[in-house]
Amino acid sequence: MLERWKIRNKITDVAVSWPCKGAGEKETTVGTDLVKFRSMALTLALVLALPGSLVLAQPAPPVDDNVEPNVVPNIERATDANGDAQGFGPNMVEVAGYRDPLIRLNRAVFAFNDVSYRYVLIPAARTYLNVTPDPVKKGIGNFFYNLRTPIYALNHLFQGKPDQTARDLGRFLVNTTVGIAGIFDPAESWLDMERQVTSAGDTMARYGVGYGAYLVLPFIGSSNLRNAGGMLLEMPLNSIEYLLDNPESTAVRVFDNFQLYAPVIQSYTDITAESEDPYIFMRNLHIQGIQRDAAYAAQERAEAE
């Protein structure tokens, strides 16, 4: 329950989607992609088969008063250069109601995720972070980020950012060669080529596709129909698919997402501890993350004009 934060996000980055992202990554959506993507594809396909109006339009005006005060974590910088979790700098934000058409399905999956996080993923994350030396964790994170870089480059191209696409490809070339298959990151340390994380969900948002409806995915956590569709689109673009056969490729992808969100998933219990209804809290947090990212994107486009 942690994405892009784009960590990016992205507890969501954003959201939990845990907008969250890897070391040095710029987020947008926080969920924990600790799921076997192929086995999830059928579930997502069935969900995405819901009425198209859910995907192509934003939700109807708020009518749900079942809300509570929220804080939005600063997931853009959820981890430091060594992959260690930093404190989320929370900010109080205005809360609005939200019509939740998938609430029954979402609550059932949320309950499953809650047990999975508390008794499986969080203990596993603690063990991984405590046992694995920092240089090894950093190298693993760099390696997997490098494998995802071509996906970021393609999305930046479709978003009308050719300069960033060129930087992404430059990073990939330098780190794959000089950085020894991406284990090291000379592109950033020597050439100041910073990481810029994005996703197919961001690309669709760039062209006016609404997020549709809030959706809780198994293990991943908070998401929405747009981002779920984006994950399906990106599945065949992942380099791991062409380097390994099943079941090895699935196992590697699961570990990739595990190591990516291990530094932040431990914050789940702290974030939900004081909430009377953790589901509502996490849902609000995710929706606020979407609204925030939309505002940032609009400001970015305005400054570019």
pLDDT in tens, 19-48: 334 434 444 333 333 333 333 433 443 334
Q: What is the pLDDT of residues 252-298, one digit of tens each?
A: 999 999 999 898 888 898 888 888 899 999 999 999 999 898 888 88
CA 81 to chain CA centroid, nearest Å: 18
Entry field: residues in the chain: 305
Report pLDDT for 97.
Answer: 61
In the chain, % of residues over pLDDT 70: 68
Report pLDDT for 54.
Answer: 36
Buried b (16+ CB within 10 A) or exposed e, 150-172: ebbbbbbbebebeebbebbbebb
In terms of Cβ atoms closer than 10 Å to its own Cβ (0-12, 13-18, 19+), residue 78 is buried
Buried b (16+ CB within 10 A) or exposed e, 27-38: bbbbbbbbbebe
Q: What is the torsional sign of CA 283, 226, 83, 139?
A: positive
**Sites in the chain below the pLDDT cut of 50:** 1-95
Q: pTM here?
A: 0.69
Report pLDDT for 136.
Answer: 97
Q: Which residues pair with 224 in a beta bridge?
A: 214
Q: Which residues pair with 72 in a beta bridge?
A: 91
Which residues touch 220 (CB under 8 Å, ≥6 apart)?
1, 3, 17, 31, 32, 33, 34, 35
Tokens matching residue 119: 């008794």
